[in-house]
Structure 1
Amino acid sequence: MSVFLAKRFATFFATLAIASLLVFAVLELLPGNVAQVMLGDTATPESIAALEKKLGLDRPAPERYTHWIGGLLLAETANSLSYGSPTAELIAERLRVTLPLALLAMVLTTVLALVFGIYAAARHNRAGDVGVMLASQLGIAVPSFWFAILLILLFAVKLQWVSAGGFPGWSEADGGGIGPALQALALPALALALVQAAILARVTRSSVLEVMREDYVRTARAKGLTSRATLWQHVLRNAMIPVLTIMGLQFANLITGTIVVENVFVLPGIGRLVFQAIANRDLVVVRDVVMLLVAVVIVVNFVVDVLYALVDPRLKASDA
């Protein structure tokens, strides 16, 4: 197990280092004047020179990269030009909305996908299976932002059960609370979960059906084990490996996919922050947010690799 974890940690840090170099290169080393882009075409040479000095663009690229990475590790990031606050504070504040939204969407995705995927596999080639496959195909075809608009029209405009957008906050002192906050996140989470649940349901169904055709499953049935007992005791554990892969990727996609949905529902999360930063040409915020999203994807993949070893010990044995 120690060898397996050592290899995964080495891959994790190497991937993170390469990703940080790419993000730095794209935003700072490609042709063009970053200060000019941030200030616009009407900026004077004096203002451009002042911004370059403020951002440290007058220093060598390796020094700037080391300073940036060191600041990220210590949470001592540069100040946003639009907000005048350190980007670490801005991101931490916006994560209070984006992270619960992504977690809620992941819970909905997992519950819906496992329930309908296992249901379809247990009723293979019957009406229930066909119905789930048709519904999942429709779910895959519907874009999240379009489904979000339909949810607003139905539940906010027509039924008037919830507000069309905004976030009341987690604190009751601000006029919000846990209940109103979760209510405000319910529709965005459902909009995000629809496509991901449709994909995961199909993967779950396929994986369960593949395992059910294995010899040891037929042996268990021949010994008198019921279909339900065989499914829960022998099939699901072995069918979870490809499902875990998709779930890990989906959680990362849910966080990065909040950019559009948060803007549809006017939620003050990471998605709205990066959208506003791009509109304001605040590349300091864009750089740190992109690096955060990249790091989330890498961390999630690392966690999935470790979960592989827990679900299927043969994987860590083969890596030893």
Structure 2
Amino acid sequence: MLTFTFRRLLTAIPTLLFISLVIFLLLDLAPGDPMAQMPLTVPDEVKARMREALGLGEPIHIRYWKWLVQFFWVEPLHLLDAMFGTGFAEGSQRILSWQTRSPVVDIVMQRMPQTLWVVGTAYVVAILIAIPVGIYSAYRQYSVFDQAGTFITMVGFSVPPFFSGVLVIIIFAAQLGWFPSIYDTRLVVDSWHDFGLQVRQMFLPVMVLALQITSQLSRFMRASMLDNLNQDYVRTARAKGLREKTVVLVHVLRNSMIPVVTVIALGVPSIFGGAIITEQVFKVNGIGQLLITAIQGNDLPMVQTLTFIFAVLIVLFNLIADVLYGMLDPRIRYD
């Protein structure tokens, strides 16, 4: 397993380099000028000096190389300086946002906790609900519980977040007044009272995200369980006198989790993309809203960095899914 993991990490390096090149070229060659939003009173020579300071006058391959070095080398050193005060990155140049003229990674690190709070909680809640629901729906196929679960999951998977988000705001915030409609990112949790406020303001965006994730995962879990419940090894286990609970929750569940692990692992990066809409609806000041703002402001360094972070997440969770295969199924050997 260690050999396989090491090989996959080595394979991930050229994969990420190719993805970074594609992202950089697609966004860099797109039409637009960061100086276009400057006031008309700014002289042309000042705009020219600003373009030169941003490195826009250099050849594209030079700009790509600098962006790559800054992303993989300079920014990690600055993060080490921020965490441990090592001084490794002293005097080194950083990727700057065209809108704020601040380091891109600093802005991302400020927004990331808000997104992780909402997205992480929604994913954990969805997994804790979807897996038991999928197992019981498959075991009690065509029962009232299965039919009700199928109806709810189909509705949850079909309704887009921008509609369900506005709907829950109207019902639970505007009409009932149970929860706030806007996420307060300035809230600092340093007491139980603040923790309660944090839970209240997280409830609606987490519910909207978890509904869609639960609908997808429970359908996959049900289909995988149904496929394994009819296998010969299940009939053999029952014929040997094993308890039904052991057959279902040990033998069937372990084999059924293999395709579901793929959906769970690969769904983590995609839910960050889905959170963009939810963050806009609930005004969560996270990386989703940051990406929308950067696109609207033609802030290419910010868009390139966030897009590449999503790509890194996809490659990383692909590797995690492959490693989990070997842990769930002893028949899978990579070495």
Show CA shifts across 1:109-145 (max 9, x none): 1012112111101101222222211221111111012
Corresponding residue number in structure 1 for 2:63: 64
Aligned positions of 1:195-206 closer than 5 A:
195-206=212-223
Q: CA deviation at 1:242?
A: 0.5
Corresponding residue number in structure 2 for 1:9: 9
Q: Is the contact made by 2:34 and 2:298 (CA closer than 8 Å) also made in structure 1?
A: no
Q: CA deviation at 1:179?
A: 3.0
Could you tell me the percent identity over the aligned residues? 32
Which letter does structure 2 place at the counterpart of 1:286? V
Per the alignment, in what secondary structure is the counterpart of residue 314 of structure 1? Answer: coil
Corresponding residue number in structure 2 for 1:276: 293
CA shift in 2, pair 1:126/1:25, >3 Å: same
Per the alignment, in what secondary structure is the counterpart of residue 164 of structure 1? Answer: coil
CA shift in 2, pair 1:153/1:14, >3 Å: same
> If the length of structure 1 is used for normalisation, what is the TM-score?
0.91
Unaligned runs of 5+ residues in structure 2 are 79-93
Q: Is 1:186 aligned to 2:186, yes or no?
A: no
Corresponding residue number in structure 2 for 1:156: 173
Which letter does structure 2 place at the counterpart of 1:122? Y
Q: Is the contact made by 1:101 and 1:189 (CA closer than 8 Å) also made in structure 2?
A: yes
1:142 to 152, 159, 172: 159
Q: Is the contact made by 2:254 and 2:328 (CA closer than 8 Å) also made in structure 1?
A: yes
CA shift in 2, pair 1:292/1:37, >3 Å: farther
> If the length of structure 2 is used for normalisation, what is the TM-score?
0.87
Per the alignment, in what secondary structure is the counterpart of residue 177 of structure 1? Answer: helix
Per the alignment, in what secondary structure is the counterpart of residue 11 of structure 2? Answer: helix
Q: Is 1:51 aligned to 2:68, yes or no?
A: no
Corresponding residue number in structure 2 for 1:101: 118
CA shift in 2, pair 1:215/1:154, >3 Å: same
Deviates more, 1:236-245 or 1:279-288: 279-288
Aligned equivalents of 2:180, 2:253: Cα separation in 1: 40
Aligned equivalents of 2:238, 2:124: Cα separation in 1: 32
Per the alignment, in what secondary structure is the counterpart of residue 331 of structure 2? Answer: helix
The count of residues paired between Structure 1 and Structure 2 equals 317
Per the alignment, in what secondary structure is the counterpart of residue 84 of structure 1? Answer: coil
Which letter does structure 1 place at the counterpart of 2:25? A
Per the alignment, in what secondary structure is the counterpart of residue 225 of structure 1? Answer: coil
Which letter does structure 2 place at the counterpart of 1:95? M
Per the alignment, in what secondary structure is the counterpart of residue 178 of structure 2? Answer: coil
Aligned equivalents of 1:6, 1:223: Cα separation in 2: 41
2:321 to 269, 284, 304: 304
Q: CA deviation at 1:173?
A: 7.0
Corresponding residue number in structure 2 for 1:118: 135
Corresponding residue number in structure 1 for 2:84: none
Q: Is the contact made by 1:113 and 1:204 (CA closer than 8 Å) also made in structure 2?
A: yes
Q: Is the contact made by 1:274 and 1:285 (CA closer than 8 Å) also made in structure 2?
A: yes
Q: Is the contact made by 1:94 and 1:269 (CA closer than 8 Å) also made in structure 2?
A: yes
CA shift in 2, pair 1:182/1:18, >3 Å: farther
Aligned equivalents of 1:285, 1:153: Cα separation in 2: 33
Which letter does structure 2 place at the counterpart of 1:223? K
Aligned equivalents of 2:151, 2:41: Cα separation in 1: 54
Q: Is the contact made by 2:131 and 2:218 (CA closer than 8 Å) also made in structure 1?
A: yes
Aligned equivalents of 2:329, 2:37: Cα separation in 1: 50
Q: CA deviation at 1:303?
A: 1.4
